[in-house]
Amino acid sequence: MASTSLLKSSPVIDKSEWVKGQSIRQPSVSILRCNSSTAAAAAPSALSIRASSYADELIKTAKTVASPGRGILAMDESNATCGKRLASIGLENTEANRQAYRTLLVSVPGLGNYISGAILFEETLYQSTVDGKKIVDVLKEQGIVPGIKVDKGLVPLAGSNDESWCQGLDGLASRSAAYYEQGARFAKWRTVVSIPNGPSALAVKEAAWGLARYAAISQDNGLVPIVEPEILLDGEHGIDRTFEVAQKVWAEVFFYMAENNVMFEGILLKPSMVTPGAECKERATPQQFLSGGQSEVEATLNLNAMNQAPNPWHVSFSYARALQNTCLKTWGGAPENVEAAQQALLIRAKANSLAQLGKYTGEGESDEAKEGMFVKGYVY
């Protein structure tokens, strides 16, 4: 999930002060960006920001992705995960089938009215549609910014409490340069923190440092980094415990991004929404700022709730299953269902566009869209 926000550059402060004194007003998923004029008007900062040759372009890209009434379509599932999605509708995991489904998604007429960016898997970035057009070009024609998943997935973190860390820093600079050349203008790196397993200080630090290094490398190569410290839904904990952990993780992430001279004006922050654990008996209402794994309607209602009150940040969405679930089932792999499936995706995109503006009502939603999608220990 995602939202967008304005931050001012600030001097480096002691991490203990950062963690203890930080008051996060919006416990939500967010894309974050800084207003360049605001930052420029601020007093000179002790923070040394890297003078990247891409600075102006990074800010422009972040603002485009964060444009009002639009959000991100996350279609960056690995080939293995895409195979699981295809298997759910009885299709074999072949490149042809993956190509057919991705073609369906990017070629929805009018999608650019509600979607500002699309996160792609590496295969998709270099792939063409079934009609032979480059997928990157199809997106650009719709006014949708192409993005790319750059992490290499989660692996066990030695010395932790059965926790994970995200790999992919090796060779990231050269890969990012190649992705930029292919047309990508933003990147995504997902790491996770597990509440039932701690989280340990080691796991939190590893997540924060990895995100910071990735963000710095991405900006050096022209890609706006989506910084995604996800708090997993697994567990019986309540919403207050999630918020406590989220504050700690966000503070660590921004501390290490400052240490790595990341330009805050050119990032997108994508934390998961603050929700109770999936197995918690006490559920929370949208007004409590409830993400990944919710039903399509729940995710939209929660986004809408966050945008119905005055908000210091632009709070938007970056959804995968919460946009694609009904679309995929409607398609079912049948060519004659493509138009209906595309219409299902457009309906979800429009609903979330309205929610980003605080105008979504939830009326007329199908039962399919109300089904939960939580998967324990979800990876992709």
Q: Does 199 sit behind a cis peptide bond, omega within 30 degrees of 0 on the bond before it?
A: yes
Catalytic residue among 122, 228, 265, 296: 228
What's the rounded Cα separation, in Å, for the pair 251 and 256?
9
What's the rounded Cα separation, in Å, for the pair 137 and 112?
13
What's the rounded Cα separation, in Å, for the pair 15 and 96?
50
Query: Percentage helix, strand, coil, to 5, in the chain?
Result: 45, 15, 45
Catalytic residue among 122, 270, 298, 365: 270
**Straight-line distance from the first to the last Cα atom of the chain, in angstroms, rounded to the nearest whole number:** 15
What count of other Cβ atoms lies within 10 Å of the Cβ of residue 369? 21
Phi, psi for residue 190 in degrees, rounded to 5: -105, 125
Q: Given the structure tokens 């996770």, which residue do they identify? A: 192
Annotation marks residue 270 as catalytic: yes
What's the rounded Cα separation, in Å, for the pair 134 and 57?
23
- H or E element, residue 74: strand 71-75
Phi, psi for residue 376 in degrees, rounded to 5: -65, 135
Residue type for 95, please?
A: E
Question: Do 218 and 147 contact (CB within 8 A), yes or no?
Answer: no
Which are the catalytic amino acids?
Answer: 228, 270
